[in-house]
Amino acid sequence: MTLSASRDSIRHIRAQLSAEGLDGMILPRGDEFLGEYVAPYAERLAWLTGFTGSAGLAILLQEEGAVFSDGRYTEQLRTQLDPSIWSAQSLVAGGPQKWVAARRKPLKLGYDPRLTSETIFENFDTLSSVTLVPLAQNPIDAAWVIQPEKPDGRVQLLDLQFSGQDSLQKRTHIGQILAERGHDAALITDPTCLAWLLNMRGNDVPYTPVVLGFGLITPDGAVTAFIDKARLPENAAAHFGPGVTFAAPETLPASLENLRGKTVRLDPESASVWFRQHLDAIGAKPVHDADPCHLLKAHKNDVELDGARRIQKIDSAALCKFLHFVTESGVGCREAALADHLFRFRSEAPEFREESFPAISAAGPNAALPHYRAIEGQDRELTANQIYLIDSGGQYEAGTTDVTRTIWIGPDAPDDALCDAFTRVLKGHIAIARAVFPVGTPGYRLDPLARYALWQAGLDYDHGTGHGVGSYLSVHEGPQNIGAAPRPTPLMPGMIVSNEPGYYEPGHYGIRSENLLIVKNAPRTGPREFLAFETLNYAPFDRKMIRPALLSAEEIDWINVYHAKTREEISPLLEGDARAWLMEACAPLNC
């Protein structure tokens, strides 16, 4: 991928915008699918500005420009932007809108409707000083001479042994939902939903095994997928079953003409503003509602859950091998090299396909950045007597993993303040893992359990406690979560959610302890139905930082049972020194 436009290219883009009567343009980081990860051809923000972070937005005006991102990328913005063209700004708290308003003059700003979410559109459209003008052609694509081609790899068919339910069953269920709501059709604009619906996967973007394409489903369960037929394997028709057709992506606008006068369901969280605008223009009736696949996809069936249990053991064994390596030989290694070591341990498993996100390999003060990413050449060396945090995951056909451990690299003992914070984070983790709660409880009602022990010491963390996880799909899956924001979706049996409280001391260290949990039915002991969690990951918590005096008898029992289970499940998958290390790391805590 050729990144960072030349100054001549930026002058050309400005001249093109001026010729169209525009004062500038807005460029989000995302692609047409508004996904977390994008293919190389869609790295327009990186090409224009040089900034390669995973979250951002640029505003290019005739005389100045600004790039906005969040606190994860403060240093990266500083090092990657050309200060003669771009200023680094905060994406949070309405930063882009405030920056535009501070120009104190009317501005006509171009935008690409296919790349712009409803939220971004509304944020700027409500500014009295801004007039938004849709661009017929994105000037970045016109100026980017060596822009990579769009992905055209083969569609991968996910076998029933991994999906647990065929596409026809899923499509029939979705069709019933549409019929009950009086919707004539639903647009599937999230590739993970289309992948789930048709039991297909791909490699169009890194870390999430999807095929980039849109879909249209009707109440009879028929689906049109706008994906090139040439990408399909020979046995595709039998795999998908009746009622599935494929059409060239460029035929999508013409196909939507058939929806004139129809009520069309559209998810504003995953559909760009282009869809609503186009449906309005042709006389259709777009209705904003959640993608009907989301909740069903989040509710894993028994086959998916059994697959998750199996691959989590394989993944946990790789992590334990890595933790042994770091403990014995990590001092002197750099963060990016350590992440590569973990990748190699995971790659030893035949089932492993790729990472589920870029590993967060963070030493010492870098661990205080919750979404830190080590960049080779700019990363930190792991030295003695400091924290090391590793947050990572893998993609396997049977499921997706995500796990975090924080360990102390000696030889000296960690100080009391660090151990106090580590133990309080662990108490929050245990509180979530042991939670029993009524059916219908949304995740935000559990969030205080993870923070209570920290709050008692005047501590807290600013990220959510848990996110949903897909089945060989996105590692960050909705609509389920555990967090402070009052999201209404209840936790339901079969959902997988992370459990990752933390604490961060800026400039010094960061702590996070994460496992994945399955929501399950709790044994019934009264008139009401309750739910509980089943822990999926198995890797030791660093006993060197645990202070038993801060733990209750029940918490100590939970840790000892968990470590005993880790020995039982993982030790048969290890050999030699790594196995001996695990047995010692999982020794019982002394009360």
Tens of pLDDT, residues 380-404? 999 999 999 999 999 999 999 999 9
Cα–Cα distance for residue pair 207/473, rounded to 1 Å: 9
Q: What is the residue type of 178?
A: L
Give the number of other CB atoms < 10 A from CB of residue 257.
11
Query: Which 8-state DSSP code applies to residue 345?
Result: H
Torsion of CA 335, 336, 339, 345, to 10 degrees: -120
Q: What is the pLDDT of residues 501-530, one digit of tens each?
A: 999 999 999 999 999 999 999 998 889 999
For the entire predicted model, the pTM comes to: 0.94
| Matching fold, domains 156-297 and 299-521 | no
Give the number of other CB atoms < 10 A from CB of residue 336.
17
Residue carrying the six token digits 């000037």: 139
Cα–Cα distance for residue pair 303/149, rounded to 1 Å: 37
Which residue ranges make up each domain of the chain? Answer: 7-143, 156-297, 299-521
| Six token digits for residue 490 | 């209840």
- Residues 519, 525, 528: CA angle, nearest 5 degrees: 70
Helices assigned H by DSSP within 292-387: 292-298, 302-329, 335-347
Spatial contact of 177 and 171, defined as CB atoms under 8 Å apart: no
What CATH number should be reported for the domain whose range is 156-297? 3.40.350.10
Q: What pLDDT, on a 0 to 100 scale, did the predictor assign at position 591?
A: 61
Q: What is the pLDDT of residues 219-263, one digit of tens each?
A: 999 999 999 999 999 999 999 999 999 999 999 999 999 999 999
Cα–Cα distance for residue pair 209/211, rounded to 1 Å: 7
Cα–Cα distance for residue pair 253/248, rounded to 1 Å: 11
Cα–Cα distance for residue pair 90/94, rounded to 1 Å: 9
Inform me whether the pLDDT recorded for 140 exceeds 80. Answer: yes
Q: What pLDDT, on a 0 to 100 scale, did the predictor assign at position 417?
A: 97
Band of the pLDDT at 74, cuts 50, 70, 90? Answer: confident
Query: Which 8-state DSSP code applies to residue 330?
Result: -
Q: Give the rounded distance of the alpha carbon of 161 from its chain centre.
A: 25
Q: What pLDDT, on a 0 to 100 scale, did the predictor assign at position 477?
A: 96
Q: Which fold, 299-521?
A: Creatine Amidinohydrolase (3.90.230)
Inform me whether the pLDDT recorded for 123 exceeds 70. Answer: yes
Helix 302-329 vs helix 553-570: crossing angle, to nearest 10: 90
Poorest-confidence range of 28-37, 335-344, 447-456?
Answer: 28-37
Q: What is the pLDDT of residues 81-93, one digit of tens each?
A: 999 999 999 998 8
Helix and strand element counts for the chain (H, E): 19, 28
Q: What is the pLDDT of residues 93-117, one digit of tens each?
A: 899 999 999 998 999 999 999 999 9
Inform me whether the pLDDT recorded for 479 exceeds 90. Answer: yes
Inform me whether the pLDDT recorded for 71 exceeds 80. Answer: no
Q: What is the pLDDT of residues 302-311, one digit of tens each?
A: 999 999 999 9
Torsions phi, psi of 287, nearest 5? -125, 120
Residue carrying the six token digits 């606190």: 71
Return mean pLDDT, the chain: 96
What CATH number should be reported for the domain whose range is 7-143? 3.40.350.10
Cα–Cα distance for residue pair 188/49, rounded to 1 Å: 31
User: Which residues on adjacent β-strands are paired with residue 302?
Assistant: none
Query: Which 8-state DSSP code applies to residue 249?
Result: G
DSSP run (H or E) holding 107? strand 107-111
Sign of the C-alpha dihedral computed for residues 441, 442, 447 and 450 taken in this order? positive
* Peptide linkage before 479 cis (omega within 30 of 0): yes
Give the closest residue to 106 by CA, choosing from 129, 136, 134, 78. 129
Kindly state the average pLDDT of the residues 361-380.
Answer: 92
Q: What pLDDT, on a 0 to 100 scale, did the predictor assign at position 3?
A: 54
Give the closest residue to 163 by CA, choosing from 239, 109, 234, 101. 239
Q: How many residues does the chain have?
A: 591
Q: What is the residue type of 408?
A: W
Inform me whether the pLDDT recorded for 1 exceeds 60. Answer: no
What lies within 8 Å, CB to CB, of 325 at 6+ separation is 341, 345
Cα–Cα distance for residue pair 565/580, rounded to 1 Å: 16
Cα–Cα distance for residue pair 578/440, rounded to 1 Å: 43
Percentage of the residues of the chain whose pLDDT score is greater than 70: 99
Inform me whether the pLDDT recorded for 70 exceeds 90. Answer: no
Inform me whether the pLDDT recorded for 2 exceeds 50. Answer: no
DSSP run (H or E) holding 280? helix 273-282
| Six token digits for residue 580 | 């001996």
Helix 416-433 vs helix 447-455: crossing angle, to nearest 10: 160
